[in-house]
Amino acid sequence: MSQGSIDILYRDDDLVIVNKPSGLLVHRGWANDEVVMMTLVRDALGLYVYPIHRLDRGASGALVFGLSTDAARALCAAFEHSQVEKRYVALVRGIPPEQGIIDYPIPRAPGGERVPAVTEYRRLRVFGRYALVEAVPRTGRLHQIRRHLKHISCPLIGDVNYGKGEHNRLFRERYNLHRLALHAASLTVPHPADGRPIQATAPMPADLTGPLAQLEAETAAP
């Protein structure tokens, strides 16, 4: 379902889950962008919306907003108490093990002290010296997936902070990939009214599926 330029994955009286495109901030704060997801969703619904969590500007995928103060409070509590499951898909340089757990402390905020952080992952596909990985963060730290995959020597493609410039350039020039290769593919949250699980799946956008298809075709060629 779409409403204007917003791809709505789920909506009821208490919450809305949308598929955020790459390139947009969730809300104003760290930058003074004129267009952010919060205002786009607000204008599309004609309602005030409450941001619950964040996705990096360069990432795409499932993003939830509360539609009332009570709903927002309950959703924030669910995130704080690790009652939310987020599944991401990431394209990385390097071939990680088939599955594993990254348990490595990272700062909660820029310049802060390191705090416990855990990410589970499994390898989905291999493209030569690159791999597609599913990552499930069990804690919510700043840039957690990006930092953790770099920690196991598998940095994300398109990551200008933690990635490798030569690989990012290769994917821009050969595969027309001009974004962070990170997509929040699904989100499961307890409903703020009764706690039942609400799951939303976010289709991967063309600016990721196109480069992945080209990469797969190249690596599959004899």
Secondary structure letter of residue 181 according to DSSP = S
Q: Which of 126, 123, 103 shows the shortest CA–CA distance to 115?
A: 103
33 in active site: no
- For 32, the 3-state DSSP assignment is coil
Among 12, 43, 56, 207, the one annotated catalytic: 56
Rounded-to-integer distance, Cα 2 and Cα 111, Å? 39
Question: What sign for the dihedral angle of Cα 38, 39, 41, 46?
Answer: positive
What phi, psi does 42 have (nearest 5°)?
-55, -50
Burial class from Cβ neighbours inside 10 Å (0-12, 13-18, 19+) for residue 4 reads exposed
Q: Which of 159, 205, 214 shows the shortest CA–CA distance to 20?
A: 205
As a 3-state breakdown, the chain gives helix, strand, coil percent values, each rounded to 5, of 25, 35, 40
Which two structure tokens, joined as six digits, stand for 123?
């390898």
Rounded-to-integer distance, Cα 215 and Cα 162, Å? 22
Known catalytic residues? 56
